[in-house]
Structure 1
Amino acid sequence: MPTPPSAPSRENPVIRDRGDACPGALRLHAADDGFLARVRIPAGLLTVARAEALALAADRFGDGHLEITSRGNVQLRGLAEDCGSGPARLLDAAGLLPAPSHERVRNIVATPMSGLEGTHRPDALAWALAFDRLLCANAGATALSGRFLFAFDDGRGDVAALDPDVTVLGRPDGRALVRLGGGADAVDVAAPDAPRAALLAAEYFLDTAAAAGTRAWRVCELPPEHPLNAAELVRRLAAAGIEATRVAEPTWPYAPPPPPAGPDGDGRGALCVLPPLGRASTAQWRVLVEIAQQGRGELRVTPWRGVVLPPADTPWPASVTARVEDAGLVLVPDGPWRSVTACTGRPGCAKSLADVRADARAVVDRARGPLPVHWSGCERRCGHPRGTAWVDLVAGPTGYRLAAPGRPVRQSVPDTPDELAAALADARSTPPTTEPAVKK
């Protein structure tokens, strides 16, 4: 496998000399295709009114597209330098900026299918939304970086696999586990206490990061002499009136992302829709909004760049599948776009060495396989997969470097469609595992 950029570890801690520059809805990022705004969507949950507001903002101020990020947030691109506070006012009026001082730290993912497949699991979205209210009311939480990630998993192990900084995992006995980073141990709490416990875990991180003095953005960046441990979290929870116990080595489940799927044979069930490469025009987005109005009236944006539309009590209209597919969106689980992701690439990113999205489109029909693939325009590998093995394509001056699990690295695959397609199809043929092939 290739040697990725130095990853933070206990042996090689990161020392930051500044705060993070992660964009938000109020702090814009200057890209080559204009300014970028990133709107945090806690638990990925959007009402149809808020989803329509995002489309309106993209039409009025941006390039007419919406991008779903690997944390289930939504980006607006191509904003003009003179757009002023227009986008923020529009988003705020829709209720998408309930706490402007906290808007960049609301990185909260939740199991997108939670509550849609029976009642045998806890409601992870309810946890996430309760936590969001606590987070936004906590003044000290503004010290978190815009990269710190919270995950609320209903027990199946899907979002728990996304390398969160604080994970809440549901258990079938009315309890929940709270884990700090990738720690081997965890803390067991009653399910109703899970949101408060997650916030106290974040406060514990902030106290530890301040003591370390390295300005760590994430749990994995803390130096070895300043570790986080479940025993100390238990003590802090007890001081706050939350009964908790340490669990030494709990078993962590794993579940893959929900595949694209249309209605079941009775016309019921959630729709799992995939916009290719996580990018939708506002016309495509509004098709989803209109269909959501025929369902439960909500959209759930996923950290795998998809959208889940929960069903109503009545079957979906017979035309729903054709409407989605006619819009150029994916509903079939075995389509070529499943598990294909890419960074922005050229022309939007100045650091990129290739138009990775165009290259991905050129070969997608001929480069299928069970392994996910991520196209990167540079060594940063922005938005790469988490929690599974994946094929790593990184653009270089003379082609792509290709790495896949258990295979020799190809240092320079020419970027012609035929050669890329053949090399990628071969690399993706390895059966997927739950271990990442390349870590960053």
Structure 2
Amino acid sequence: MPGGLLRPEQLLAVAEAAADLGTPVLELTSRANLQVRGLAPGAEVELGDRLARVGLLPSPTHEKVRNIMASPLGGQRWVAELDAGLCADPGLAGLPGRFLFCLDDGRGDVAWAGADVAALPVGDAVAVLLGGADHGVRVRPGEVVGAVLAAARAFLELRDGQWRVRELGAGVAEIATRLGAGPARVTVTPPVTAGPIGPVGFGDGGAGYAVAVPLGRITREQAAALADRGEVVLTPWRGAVVRGDGSGLADVGLLTSAEDPGIGVTACTGRPGCAKAHADVQAAARGLRVGGRAVHWSGCDRRCGRPAGDVLDVVATEAGYLVDGRAVPGERVVEAATQGREQR
């Protein structure tokens, strides 16, 4: 879902496919995408057909590289053009599946979220960030998509098995040189760990409403409630933004208050859905009753789905849990996680 943008019929189609073919909930990712889990063998064919019918698979050859995040309240400016340019270049299908593009609208909410190539408006120009750092590349707004695609092509030319731009070492500076690096720099800021909640304003002046999704799991009923509002923008903080007000959204279990203890709480699939997990971390995460620092629950040390930024790590092990690296028995993990949230 480039830019996290979904038409109502697209969100409903994915929710219905999940209910019919896999687990009955959709999983929101930290890249503002959706995952359908629990597919039976062969069900991926029907899933692909359903998604294609609503326009969600425009380029099967490039599907794994259409990883484009954007500022939820105003970052759609270059999304469609970048997506089209990406899919039109056969060579870019060779990008690693983890390669990430971020298009920021100037507020800095996604520019530092771990992108390989990001665009961040700075004054009258746009900074093209490489591997999470500013190397002095500046372009005009009309040149953004061309520069971003050029950076991706340069990465493919320079890589020797590396998956991410930051792994290139001196190669990052080479990409910057090719793009025309200058002396200007912007200050790196910590990644945003919590998205907007409640009434918001879009960049075009329209009114909207932002919600968080408990543990990033969207039910069919919640998907229908969001789709009733028109276009839905998924956020990297496992939430969504719709046009209009928030009436009725809390009634289906979506989080509409920044004070809700579920804000900032994320978890991987855990048991029983993942064979590598040591615990049912989703059930444990629901035990938190105090808000505070963002916290991610992981069923194993791979820490799948962990958001960028300052996040309290709760990791299940064979012997119990690690809470920010400190061993804690299973029966005390909610208490330890609560204390960790309150410390910052």
> Counterparts of 1:78-227 in structure 2 under 5 Å?
78-83=38-43, 85-114=45-74, 124-173=75-124, 175-209=125-159, 213=160, 215-222=161-168, 224=169, 226-227=170-171
What is the match of residue 364 of structure 1? 288
How far off is 1:59 after superposition? 2.4
* 2:316 match: 395
Write the distance in 2 (CA, Å) between the matches of 1:42 and 1:84: 21
Aligned equivalents of 1:70, 1:278: Cα separation in 2: 9
- Distance change in 2, residues 1:430/1:247 (3 Å): farther
Name the counterpart of 2:279: 354
Shift of 1:204: 0.8
- Name the counterpart of 2:231: 298
Amino acid in structure 2 at the alignment position of 1:298: E
- Hey, what's the Cα distance between the residues in 1 that align with 2:80 and 2:200? 27
Q: Describe the shift of the 1:338–1:420 C-alpha distance in structure 2 as closer, same or farther (beyond 3 A).
A: same
1:249 aligns with 2:185: yes
Shift of 1:430: 2.7
Sort the Cα spacing of 1:232 and 1:159 in 2 relative to 1 into closer, same or farther, 3 A.
closer
Once the 2 structures are TM-superposed, how far is the Cα of residue 255 of structure 1 from its aligned partner? Answer: 7.1
TM-score (norm 2): 0.93
- What's the CA shift for 1:310? 2.6
How far off its partner does 1:188 sit? 0.4
**Contact 1:260 1:332 (C-alpha < 8 Å) held by counterparts:** yes
Matched residue count: 339
Alpha-carbon shift at residue 133 of structure 1 (Å)? 0.7
Tell me the TM-score normalized by structure 1: 0.73
Give the Å deviation of 1:79: 1.2
Q: Is the 8 A contact 2:270 2:279 kept in 1?
A: yes
CA contact (8 A) 1:157 1:254 kept: no
Secondary structure of the corresponding residue to residue 172 of structure 2: coil
Match of 2:249 in 1: 324
Q: In the alignment, is the contact (CA less than 8 A) between 1:188 and 1:247 conserved in 2?
A: no
- Rg: which structure is higher? 1
Question: Deviation at 1:283?
Answer: 1.6
Provide the C-alpha distance between the structure 1 equivalents of 2:306 and 2:216, rounded to a whole number of angstroms. 13
Cα deviation, residue 275, structure 1? 1.4
CA distance in 2, matches of 1:144, 1:42: 16
2: distance between equivalents of 1:329 and 1:232? 43
Alpha carbon RMSD of aligned pairs, Å? Answer: 1.9
8 Å CA contact 1:165, 1:219 repeated in 2? yes
**Cα distance between partner residues in 2 of 1:66 and 1:182:** 29
State the SS of the aligned residue for 1:125.
Answer: coil
Q: Distance in 2 between matches of 1:369 and 1:332?
A: 11
- DSSP 3-state at the match of 1:176: strand
Q: Which runs of 5+ in 2 are unaligned?
A: none
> Counterpart in 1 of 2:225?
287
Find the counterpart in structure 2 of residue 259 from structure 1.
196
- Match in the other structure for 1:117: none
